[in-house]
């Protein structure tokens, strides 16, 4: 059952330690171990039962909100992804324009890949705005 404890410790690594969080951790570990024993009684192998219990447990976002831990990392990561996509697509677009103008100045073909590349920052913008809206 060391795998369960390691998994729960990994989920709780950025949550401040106090008596409440330690009690919640122990309760989750105990519930997962009971689930593993139940699955093993149903005929599952130990590793399969542990993996199934972990997968069915899911993430701890609701629990984080209950404990009052703010999740600023996801919002910042969405903003970072947006900035990266804007800069990356700008460089790729500049490359296509250069290649188009240098090799085939009479034919404007770069607009087609530029249109496709613009979907990258647009999709990252929607991810960022959705995360911002949720908070």
Mean pLDDT, to the nearest integer, of 31-55?
89
Conformation bin of residue 58: beta by default, left when phi > 0, alpha when psi is -120 to 50: left
Burial (CB count <10 Å: 0-12, 13-18, 19+), residue 120: middle
Kind and range of the H or E element at 134?
helix 119-134
Residue 7 pLDDT > 90: no
Beta carbons within 8 Å of 52's beta carbon, 6+ residues apart: 39, 44
Beta carbons within 8 Å of 1's beta carbon, 6+ residues apart: 29, 33, 36, 50
Residue 64 pLDDT > 80: no
Residue 73 pLDDT > 90: no
- CA dihedral angle for residue 74, residue 75, residue 80, residue 82, rounded to 10 degrees: 110
Quote the DSSP letter at residue 104.
Answer: -
Structure token pair of residue 20: 């409440």
Mean pLDDT, to the nearest integer, of 111-132?
92
**pLDDT band at 70; cut points 50, 70, 90:** low
Does pTM top 0.85 for this prediction? Answer: no
Residue 76 pLDDT > 80: no
Q: What percent of the chain has pLDDT over 70?
A: 90
pLDDT tens-place string over residues 78-112? 888 989 999 999 999 999 999 999 999 999 999 99
CA distance 104 to 97: 10
């Amino acid at each position: 059952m060391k795998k369960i404890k390691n998994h729960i410790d990994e989920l709780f690594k950025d949550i401040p330690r106090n008596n409440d969080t330690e009690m919640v951790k122990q309760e989750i570990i105990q519930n997962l171990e009971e689930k593993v024993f139940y699955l093993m009684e149903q005929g599952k192998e130990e590793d399969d039962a542990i993996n199934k219990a972990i997968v069915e447990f899911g993430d701890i976002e609701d629990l984080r909100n209950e404990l009052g831990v703010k999740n600023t990392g996801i919002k910042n990561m969405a903003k970072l992804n947006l900035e990266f996509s804007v800069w990356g697509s700008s460089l790729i677009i500049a490359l296509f324009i250069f290649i188009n103008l240098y090799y085939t100045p009479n034919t404007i073909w770069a607009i087609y890949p530029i249109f496709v590349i613009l979907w990258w920052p647009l999709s990252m913008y929607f991810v960022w705005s959705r995360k911002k809206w949720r908070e």
